[in-house]
Amino acid sequence: MRKLFSLLLIVFIFSCKSKKTITEEGVANKELSSIKIIQGHYKNNKDFNTIAIRANAKYSDDSQSHSVNADIRIKKDEIIWINVKMLGFPLAKVLITPEKVTYYEKINNTYFEGGFSVLSNWLGTDLDFYKAQNLLLGNPIDDLTKQKYETIIENNLYKLFEKGKKDIQKEFYFEASNFLLKKENLSQANENRKLEINYPSHQKQRDIFIPNEIQIKAIQKEEINIALFYKSITFNEDLNFSFSVPNGYEMVKID
């Protein structure tokens, strides 16, 4: 069950790779306020109705490694629909809405339906539909306009962080050309949890910046590494989001 859950987690936080990589030449060499950086980031266009993604990913932990392919469909702010395949064979389907997560898997004929708490606890950070969608689009998990941040220049990037002692330490790094998110770190020292998300490069389609690749490292009881890549992406097609659990599947609980 843990191996299957790991596969589904890969899909839940999927993103993309493209051949149309943009050049990120800007260097953070002058002081800017956190407000200017945040405003610059959110000025980047994310105006769309739907996205259809063909993607793949590589996953590894202390005891296993594997690859999956997925068809991912997003209806902005409403639905994330995923069809997972391994070696060309259907493995699972996932439906994520702002209210709940539902998936079923074909190996053991089981399904799950419930909230986001399991994934939140497993990753070591609060997670919901909109934060998952932000991951897919290359935005910070959190809405940065709702908090106050300090800023410094670190390794030619603008680093935003919350000053003072917090239960969860959060850091966000932006490049200087378009204020695209390059990296975010979320850690809970008391729980020995850390989540690192890196965006090595980006593409631009229909004036929308999208990550080419996402590298994720989740550290808790073990270290998990996920490398995510796009194969193709199309915008604003008339997509089918139908989803139903097959008859005879057994509901499971995940602790």
Q: Which of helix, strand or coil describes residue 249?
A: coil
Q: How far is the C-alpha of 94 from the C-alpha of 83, rounded, in Å?
A: 7
User: In angstroms, how far is CA 145 from the centroid of its own chain?
Assistant: 19
Burial class of residue 210 (count of CB atoms within 10 Å of its CB; 0-12, 13-18, 19+): buried
Q: Which of 2-16, 118-132, 146-160, 215-229 has the lowest mean pLDDT?
A: 2-16
Q: What is the largest CA-CA distance in the chain?
A: 61
156 or 118, higher pLDDT? 156
pLDDT for the residue 14 = 41
Whether the Cβ atoms of residue 66 and residue 57 lie closer than 8 Å to each other: no
CATH of the domain at 12: 2.50.20.10
Q: How far is the C-alpha of 230 from the C-alpha of 19, rounded, in Å?
A: 9
Q: Which of 57-71, 74-88, 135-149 has the lowest mean pLDDT?
A: 57-71
Residue 248 domain flag: no
pLDDT digits (tens, 9 = 90+) for 157-205: 999 998 776 788 899 999 999 999 999 999 887 878 899 999 998 988 8
In this structure, is the dihedral angle defined by the CA atoms of residues 172, 208, 54 and 91, taken in order, positive or negative? positive
Q: How far is the C-alpha of 104 from the C-alpha of 244, rounded, in Å?
A: 9
How many domains is the chain built from? 1
pLDDT digits (tens, 9 = 90+) for 94-137: 999 999 999 999 989 999 999 887 667 656 677 899 999 999 88
User: In angstroms, how far is CA 59 from the centroid of its own chain?
Assistant: 14
Length of the chain: 255
The chain-wide mean pLDDT, for the chain, equals 85
Cα dist from 22 to 45, 208, 211, whole Å: 15, 12, 10
Residue 15 domain flag: yes
Residue 250 domain flag: no
Residue 113 domain flag: yes
Residue 116 domain flag: yes
Residue 247 domain flag: no
Which residue range(s) make up the domain with 99?
A: 2-239
Residue 244 domain flag: no
Q: Of 214, 198, 186, 183, nearest to 13 (Cα)?
A: 214
